[in-house]
Amino acid sequence: MVNGAQRNGPKQPQPPFCGGKRLAVLLPLPIAGPYDYSVPADFVPAVGDFVEVPLGQRILVGVVWGVGSDSVTETKLKAIRRLLPAPPLPDVSRRFVDWVASYTVFPPGAVLRMAMSVPEALLPAALPQAMDLASPPPHLKLTPARRRILALLSDGLARPIAELAREAACSAAVVRGLVAAGALRAVEVPAAPEPLPDWRRRGLDLTPSQAESAATLRAAVSGGYAVRLLDGVPGSGKTEVYFEAIAEALARDLQVLVLLPEIALSAQWRARFIRRFGAPPREWHSDLARGERRRTWRSVAEGEINVVVGARSALFLPFRQLGLIVVDEEHDPSFKQEEGVTYHARDMAVVRARLGEIPCVLVSATPSLETVINARTGRYAELVLRDRHGGVPIPAIEVVDLRHDRPPKGAFVAPSLRRALVETLAAGKQAMLFLNRRGYAPLTLCRACGHRIRCPSCTAWLVEHRLVGRLQCHHCGFASPLPKACPACGAQDSLSACGPGVERLAEEVADIVPRARTLVATSDTLTGPAAAADLVRRIETHDVDLIIGTQIVAKGYHFPELTLVGCVDADLGLSGGDLRAAERTFQLLYQVAGRSGRGDVGRVLMQTCWPEHPVIVALAAGDRERFLATEEHERREAAMPPFGRLAALIISGRDEASVDAAARALARNAPPATGLRVLGPAPAPLALLRGRHRRRILLHAPRAFSLSGYVRDWVASVAVPSTIRVHVDIDPQSFL
DNA sequence: AGCACGCCGACT
DNA sequence: GTCGGCGTGCTC
């Protein structure tokens, strides 16, 4: 017996089926709501059961959502075909699906699809097969390979085919031959129980202030719903502190969910977890192997898994007895899902905690303004860790004013940063250059005619990726070989790369520190967990001297030898006109600075053309409070989130005129409401994306306004041609 | 989401 | 003459 299912207390109570001949079944499809089905003769499903139903020509799996309505005539009803042998979808999960659907203005079926992303998991797992000796047939041909296999099995231990073949140094075909001949038989063996994280192990010694926060979090585990912000500078031991809350939940036989923004980059987090709990947590993200996915989904539902660490989609796992949610790096923009159902995983984690009546811990060194305000107004409790581990302060950020400290012509690294780079590497330490731009150059320009090469299906420049010799669109994936001549005027060798990308920076740096072992880290080079783990290992073992990376390297790593961080363009993103541009820039640069000097005294140099910008001033002063105060003031004045609310409608389609017409019709027909302003339609920031024209309507409403209900009624009341898509984004984060 | 139904170009 | 392209609309 794997622990969990039994220790998790009584079985989930299922509401009794309350009679009637129809049941509402929610299907994992983007259709308006549940469909009714008739109850079969031989069994009566209960609410939450996974059932197979016919839909059109297909057979689908859905979830019994409640009793049916009278919305459809008796004659159209089809019968539920069968009950699937899986634990029912828990009551909390169903309420969560409905809540998220209602809030995001997406059909509940679209949300359910995220909760049943593993159809195979609904069937019981085939038990692993092992081979054992059968009574030997009378005329068995005995070859040497066959003899070895039979000899191996004489110890009475059944083995899987592959293992047997390996041990006997023959191919699996020989084993199968013996099975066919009747000399071996397959037996089912229980899966080897995987070790679970163990809360009884002793954690690291905590400082008094860490211990105090840990005790508060431990106490919170039995306290029902509450949200706490765990706020501490990089290196203050936030992870070790919330590990104590995890230990407490595990001690109470509850499941724990930890959300991380980039699960693929979590190798160091995972190592710390194993050190604390003796076994790895289960991972959940989009590029898991199918079998792994199946096993995890199923055992989360069975209550056999106690800790899941995952990307945002892990929120929709069917936890049987969830007792704690931790959202690490809660400020991270990647918690916002932009494709399909548009939701913010941090906010939905809070909702999931409330529905489950369990605590939620939001963790960050640079909490979002939303969370800070929630903490300040008492909606969230706040725990602050002020001291950096080992007493090493966050290095002061030195501003490099590019207007005076100019890089050489055609280069991007200023003299002062060049000197720092040379000194750091000469001292045998590591350095990191941060530039949030993939590729070689963000723009390719013809010197003869001024033509700029753009994506044929998006409003975007093509980015040169010199390593692969291509021009690429970062929005739709379009790629073309680097042309020899200008596509507009035909001039030969007139194309010129404008602006820096990490590849170009690497080229420049090779001239400054020719002997440095340099590594470029971007989403192009770090394609998965293995590549990320390899990167971390190479930095830890000092296999590389210089790391050049995009925001991917700004995450919560810990590298003791890294003592210089250079931010090549701190202004990137400051002038985007985006509501959160300043905040994101501050968070990113503060996190980048936190990479430096964790083990030793470090330097952080930040290149800017705009030293008097409030973000740069606050960063240079190391003054987070000052930054937050400025930001809060500006947002409050403009009634922007969290002091007001926004929703965006993106209207898109292939035909520009009909997109325009639909967008105008929507805006014209927005019902008037107090305090609500309809802005637009205007071309969306990416007015053309993947060949679709896009217009945006923004809604601005007071804080207490119920945007979801308003938008649902509004969009439902306006007839839009079926070729036009209307995408609703409640609480938009980025404006792209 | 998938699948059928439906109406226009290049093939046996 | 059909095979098949994907635009439109429905599925309890």
Query: Nearest protein residue to B3's C1' (by CA)?
Result: A57
Whose C1' is closest to the CA of A56: which nucleotide?
Answer: C11
Whose C1' is closest to the CA of A654: which nucleotide?
Answer: C7
* pLDDT greater at residue A708 or residue A74: A708
Neighbours of A541 (CB within 10 A): 9
What Å value separates CA A231 and C1' C9?
Answer: 52
pLDDT of residue A16: 42
Query: Nearest protein residue to B2's C1' (by CA)?
Result: A58
Q: What is the mean predicted confidence (pLDDT) over A672-687?
A: 88
Whose C1' is closest to the CA of A73: which nucleotide?
Answer: C12
- Residues within 7 Å (Cβ) of strand C: A 29, 31, 35-37, 54-56, 71-72, 76-78, 722-723
Whose C1' is closest to the CA of A32: which nucleotide?
Answer: C11
What Å value separates CA A654 and C1' B8?
Answer: 20
Does residue A321 contact residue A255 with C-beta atoms inside 8 Å?
Answer: yes
Which stretch of A372-376, A378-382, A393-397, A519-523 has the lowest confidence by average pLDDT?
A393-397
Q: What is the mean predicted confidence (pLDDT) over A49-76?
A: 91
Q: What is the mean predicted confidence (pLDDT) over A90-101?
A: 97
What Å value separates CA A687 and C1' C12?
Answer: 39
What Å value separates CA A95 and C1' B2?
Answer: 27
CA atoms of A419 and A396, how far apart (whole Å): 18
Q: What is the mean predicted confidence (pLDDT) over A57-73?
A: 91
pLDDT of residue A391: 62
The model's pLDDT over A165-179, given as tens digits with 9 standing for 90+, comes to 788 888 888 888 888
Q: What is the mean predicted confidence (pLDDT) over A629-641?
A: 90
Q: What is the mean predicted confidence (pLDDT) over A250-274?
A: 90
**Which bases of strand C have any atom within 7 Å of the beta carbon of a protein residue?**
7-12
Q: Using the predicted structure, report yes or no on whether residue A455 has a pLDDT greater than 90.
A: no
Question: Residues of A from 186 to 225 whose C-beta is within 7 A of strand B: which are they?
Answer: none
> Where residue A329 falls among pLDDT bands split at 50, 70, 90?
very high
Kindly provide the b/e burial profile for residues A283-318, where b requires at least 16 CB atoms within 10 angstroms of the residue's own CB: bbbeebeeeebbbbbbbbbbbbbbbbbbbbbbbbbb
Whose C1' is closest to the CA of A110: which nucleotide?
Answer: B1
User: How would you class A645 by CB atoms within 10 Å of its CB: exposed for 0-12, middle for 13-18, buried for 19 or more?
Assistant: buried
How confident is the prediction for chain A on average, in pLDDT?
87
As a whole-number percent, the residues of chain A with pLDDT over 70 amount to 93
What Å value separates CA A22 and C1' C11?
Answer: 17
CA atoms of A93 and A356, how far apart (whole Å): 9
What Å value separates CA A456 and C1' B12?
Answer: 38
* pLDDT greater at residue A558 or residue A310: A310
The reply to whether A29 has its C-beta less than 7 Å from any atom of strand B is yes
What Å value separates CA A719 and C1' B4?
Answer: 25
Query: Nearest protein residue to C11's C1' (by CA)?
Result: A56
Query: Nearest protein residue to C7's C1' (by CA)?
Result: A723
Q: What is the mean predicted confidence (pLDDT) over A605-625?
A: 88
Whose C1' is closest to the CA of A113: which nucleotide?
Answer: B1
What angle in degrees, to the nearest 10, is found between the helix axes of A415-426 and A502-512? 70
pLDDT of residue A291: 84
pLDDT of residue A596: 64
* pLDDT greater at residue A556 or residue A457: A457
Whose C1' is closest to the CA of A34: which nucleotide?
Answer: C12
Which stretch of A336-345, A485-494, A589-598 has the lowest confidence by average pLDDT?
A589-598
Query: Nearest protein residue to C9's C1' (by CA)?
Result: A722
What Å value separates CA A118 and C1' B1?
Answer: 15
Helix residue spans in A105-181 (DSSP H): 108-115, 144-153, 161-167, 172-180
pLDDT of residue A7: 32
Does residue A62 contact residue A25 with C-beta atoms inside 8 Å?
Answer: yes
What Å value separates CA A165 and C1' C8?
Answer: 55
What Å value separates CA A654 and C1' B7?
Answer: 21
What Å value separates CA A650 and C1' B4?
Answer: 30
pLDDT of residue A423: 95
Does residue A554 contact residue A585 with C-beta atoms inside 8 Å?
Answer: no
**Which bases of strand B have any atom within 7 Å of the beta carbon of a protein residue?**
1-4
Whose C1' is closest to the CA of A29: which nucleotide?
Answer: B1
Q: Using the predicted structure, report yes or no on whether residue A82 has a pLDDT greater than 90.
A: yes
What Å value separates CA A29 and C1' B3?
Answer: 14
Question: Residues of A from 38 to 97 whose C-beta is within 7 A of strand B: which are they?
Answer: 56-58
The model's pLDDT over A248-260, given as tens digits with 9 standing for 90+, comes to 999 999 999 999 9
Tell me how many degrees the CA angle A394-A400-A401 measures, rounded to the nearest 5: 140
The reply to whether A30 has its C-beta less than 7 Å from any atom of strand B is yes
What Å value separates CA A57 and C1' C8?
Answer: 18
Tell me how many degrees the CA angle A244-A247-A251 measures, rounded to the nearest 5: 140
Whose C1' is closest to the CA of A340: which nucleotide?
Answer: B1
Three-state DSSP string of A321-385: CEEEEEEECCCCHHHEECCCCCEEHHHHHHHHHHHHCCEEEEEECCCCHHHHHHHHCCCCEEEEE
Among A629, A527, A580, residue whose Cα is nearest residue A734: A580
What Å value separates CA A31 and C1' C9?
Answer: 13
What Å value separates CA A58 and C1' B5?
Answer: 16
What Å value separates CA A656 and C1' B7?
Answer: 24
Which amino acid does the sequence have at A247? A
